[in-house]
Amino acid sequence: MLNVLILSASLGTAALLLWPRLARSTLWRATTTPLASIIGSGFLVLGPVLEHSYGVYAPFVMGLLCLVAYAFGGAIRFNITRRMEGPGSRSTTEERLETLASWALTFAYVISVAYYLNLFGAFAVSLTPFDNATAGRLVTTAIFAVILLTGWLRGFHALERMEQVSVGIKLAIIAGMLAGLAWYFEGKLNDGGLVFEPPTLTGWPAITLAFGLIVTVQGFETARYLGQDYDARTRHRAMRLAQWIATAIYLLYIGLIAYLFTVDEAQLSETAIIDMMKIVAPILPPLLVAAALAAQFSAAVADTGGAGGLVHELTGGRIRVRMAYAILVAAGVALTWVADIFAIIAYASRAFALYYAVQSAIAALGAREENDTFRAAAYWALTALGLACAALGTPAE
């Protein structure tokens, strides 16, 4: 019965996403890029990490992460609006900071691609007899080679068409998983079997771990760089809609998972979610592996293409796009073999936090130009928070 419910929820969601009126909607097409990045960034690892580290308080921490992400998104949306005013609408300092932000984002993309593909490798071997770190890293290295060859020889345009398809697959499988978790939660509730685990981290270590999880709610900023395809108003709305949908999914997911599993069942590993979902329903692990492979590969392709384009633009064409791909892949392979996935998550979080700090500083300067003292103060506070996350974020252990 539970397997039927999960499949029905997945197929129903897939049918909705294939509905022509929705699939052809300009707003929805603009929303899929940031939504794919947000959900792809953290869904697979957030549940076990928050459950293991924060226990009964995991939903509260998830809410704070989403709130901080929405605040950073607000700063970027304000910057999009400022740019709508045309050339000369921003000061020289703002434009210089925008260049700094682009470099910070390029660096963040380099690390995030390593993060995505290390998850890809771990999930690719998770249900095989070769489920170990070395096998996962070998798969990751091979996929890096595929991406480099594709980008070097043909470009990513053909692969980028996977994005909307992968978003649909991922959302459909997530809907099935949430339906299964809700059914399992109801059974536990009726039997008095809900779990209320105390946090294993408290105080300052708990705060710095949250700083190191910013990357798991990252991705909304991609709407900022869709100017060739969508106008500023559409990008503004798409970013906000993507964050609303992702927040609803994350809060429901963590709100269910936090009270279903013990700390022993929520072990810290790249693929812990697979073992947790085996307890809920046997159909969920293969579905989650399929979602992971589609999501991580398409996200890695998108960020590789974005990083290559940014490096080419920021160096005035001195570094060709293909050479930028090679540099990115070399850095990603090095990270794969010298750091574990949780260290890479923390590095990526620091890089994105720096980017958000710079964007918040740009917004603060813009608000000051508009004599909006309250908003300027709020954006300066966000700048300080972003810098704190960049300096102090730590990996899960």
Q: Is the dihedral of CA 285, 286, 292, 295 positive or negative?
A: negative
Cβ atoms 295, 39 nearer than 8 A: yes
* pLDDT given at position 252: 92
Look at residue 171 in the predicted model and tell me its pLDDT. Answer: 84
- Per-residue pLDDT of 66-97, as tens digits, reads 999 999 999 988 888 776 655 556 678 888 88
Share of the chain above pLDDT 70, in %: 90
Residue 59 inside a domain? The answer is yes
Residue 175 lies in a domain: yes
Question: Which residues fall within 8 angstroms of residue 77, CB to CB, at 6 or more apart?
Answer: 236, 239, 240
What band does 382 get if pLDDT is binned at 50, 70 and 90?
A: very high
pLDDT of residue 162: 57
| Torsions phi, psi for 213 (to 5 deg) | -110, 10
Give residue 57's identity as a one-letter amino acid code: Y
310 half-sphere exposure, CB direction, 13 A CA radius:
23
Q: Where are the beta strands (DSSP E) in 241-299?
A: none
Q: Does the pLDDT of residue 227 top 70, yes or no? A: no
Give the dihedral of Cα atoms 154, 155, 161, 165; nearest 10 deg: 90
pLDDT for the residue 363: 92
CATH code, domain with 217:
1.20.1740.10
Torsion of CA 116, 121, 123, 129, to 10 degrees: -170
Tokens of 55: 């226990």
In a domain, 205, yes or no: yes
pLDDT band, very low/low/confident/very high, at 65 (cuts 50, 70, 90):
very high
For 310-362, the pLDDT digits (tens) are: 787 788 778 887 788 888 889 889 989 988 888 888 888 888 899 999 999 99
Give the pLDDT confidence score for residue 85 in this predicted structure: 56
At residue 359, the pLDDT reads: 92
Residue range 116-170, pLDDT digits in tens: 888 888 888 887 888 888 898 999 999 888 888 877 776 655 555 556 667 778 8
pLDDT score at 159 = 56
pLDDT at 41: 59
Domain encompassing residue 100? 2-392
Specify the number of domains making up the chain: 1
Q: State the first-to-last Cα distance of the chain, in angstroms, to the nearest integer.
A: 37
Which of the residue ranges 35-39, 102-106, 214-218, 299-303 would you say has the lowest mean pLDDT?
299-303
For residue 92, being part of any structural domain is answered with: yes
CA atoms within 13 A on the CB side of 291: 29
pTM of structure:
0.86
Q: Count Cα neighbours of 254 within 13 Å in the Cβ-side half-sphere.
A: 30
pLDDT digits (tens, 9 = 90+) for 254-277: 998 888 887 776 666 777 788 888
The pLDDT score that the predictor gives to residue 149 is 82
DSSP string computed for 257-270: HTTT--TTTS--ST
> Is 386 a member of any domain?
yes
- Measure Cα distances from 393 to 45, 212, 213, 239 in Å: 17, 4, 8, 25
DSSP string, 48-114: HHHHHHHGGGHHHHHHHHHHHHHHHHHHHHHHHHHHTT-TTSS-HHHHHHHHHHHHHHHHHHHHHHH
pLDDT at 84: 62
Closest by alpha carbon to 257, among 270, 278, 281, 273? 273
Q: How far apart are alpha carbons 78 and 73 in whole angstroms?
A: 9
Q: Is residue 397 part of a domain?
A: no
Half-sphere exposure of 353 (CA within 13 A, CB side): 28
